[in-house]
Amino acid sequence: MSLKEQLDLQRLPRHIAIIMDGNGRWAKERGKDRLYGHHEGVESVRTIVEGCAELGIGYLTLYAFSTENWDRPVYEVNGIMELLVSTIRKEVSTLSKNNIRLQVIGDMEMLPAQCITELNEAMSLTAQNTGLTLVMALSYSARWEIVNAAKKMAEDAKSGKLDPDTITPQIWQQYLCTRDIPDPELMIRTSGECRISNFLLYQLAYAELYFTNTRWPDFRKEHLYQALLDYQTRERRFGKTSEQIQQNEEIIS
Ligand code: IPE
Ligand code: IPE
Ligand code: MG
């Protein structure tokens, strides 16, 4: 049986989040420039987006560029931004054809003007699509997002729009970039690093974490299926006991 056939289609995550890491090392290992790794990583993005759409996954969030990544050498940052513009331009028709909706989370204002234009166009062109929602995290960091949410909440409280006594996790969520997006059930990080690196800190509270040594440019559908199979062996307890979870499952089935 293929890995795909082994998947329980009733127990797939609604939302998968991926830290696409290892482009630089992948290129270096081949004696190439880091930018070559970023270019090759685009093929993995294409494949994994397609793989998620085929499985009927609702949301895929890809961490493409962090707030901290602005501090990389200018040459690399510029290269990544150019790659972003050309990729969106090339891929927007495929997104539309495949009923995929594009969204962006992060401090978009930090991006070069041309990037913003391309992204806005692609987002409005795909806004009505009802299949997979592809969320690109660009110039994103969770601490930026959380501080931003706190600022907006404080402003709303000051102007009388928000009563501080009514703030709950649900209200807090409305102030995050991911306000209309369910929390990821599965977070994958490629290339061996076992850390979160400022990604979706609030939203990942109960996500299952999956780390693989595979570098992002090598990541293909089979690797995705492997991660999903691993996810399907996990018991998600949300603070309860194993017995409670099993009883609940018996009631449902
Ligand atoms: C991930 O690959 C892509 C970005 C952060 C933009 P890296 O560029 O971090 O690759 P490594 O981790 O240096 O190998
Ligand atoms: C995280 O990768 C950010 C993205 C993949 C966009 P980094 O390569 O920037 O993270 P660190 O520096 O290893 O923690
Ligand atoms: Mg890295």
DSSP SS3 for 65: strand
* Pairing mode of beta strands 15-19, 133-140: unpaired
Report the distance separating Cα 220 and Cα 10, nearest Å: 22
| CA distances (Å), origin 113, targets 44, 99, 133 | 26, 27, 24
Do 185 and 127 touch, CB atoms closer than 8 A? no
User: Binding residue per annotation — 222?
Assistant: no
Q: How far is Cα of residue 223 from the mean position of the Cα atoms in its chain?
A: 16
Find the residues whose C-beta lies inside 6 A of ligand 1: 20-25, 65, 69, 80, 191
Do 68 and 21 touch, CB atoms closer than 8 A? no
The helix or strand, by DSSP H or E, that contains position 62, with its residue range, turns out to be strand 59-66
The helix or strand, by DSSP H or E, that contains position 206, with its residue range, turns out to be none
Q: How many residues does the chain have?
A: 253
Given a cut of 90, whether residue 253 has pLDDT beyond it is no
Domains of the chain from N-terminus onward: 10-140+185-234 (3.40.1180.10)
Report the distance separating Cα 36 and Cα 38, nearest Å: 5
User: Binding residue per annotation — 14?
Assistant: no
| CA distances (Å), origin 181, targets 38, 170, 184, 201 | 27, 12, 9, 14
Count of CB atoms within 10 A of residue 191's CB? 21
pLDDT value of residue 251: 86
DSSP SS3 for 29: helix
> pLDDT tens digits for 35-87?
999 999 999 999 999 999 999 999 999 999 999 999 999 999 999 999 999 99
User: Binding residue per annotation — 72?
Assistant: yes
Report which bound ligand comes closest to the CA of 68: 2
Mean pLDDT for the stretch of residues 10-31: 98
Q: Which atom of ligand 1 lies nearest, measured to the CA of 80? A: 6
Å from CA of 248 to ligand 1 middle:
42
Find tokens 């994994």 and name the residue. Answer: 48
Q: Is 21 a catalytic residue?
A: yes
pLDDT value of residue 22: 98
Q: Is 98 a catalytic residue?
A: no
Given a cut of 90, whether residue 249 has pLDDT beyond it is no
Question: What is the 3-state secondary structure of 6-28?
Answer: HCCHHHCCCEEEEECCCHHHHHH
Q: Which atom of ligand 2 lies nearest, measured to the CA of 197? A: 14
Report the distance separating Cα 118 and Cα 109, nearest Å: 13
pLDDT value of residue 250: 87
Å from CA of 154 to ligand 3 middle:
34
Count of CB atoms within 10 A of residue 93's CB? 11
Mean pLDDT for the stretch of residues 155-162: 98
Å from CA of 22 to ligand 3 middle:
5
* Average confidence score pLDDT of the chain: 97
Q: Measuring CA to CA, which residue among 136, 127, 138 is closest to residue 101?
A: 127
Of the given ranges (4-13, 35-44, 244-253), which has the lowest mean pLDDT? 244-253
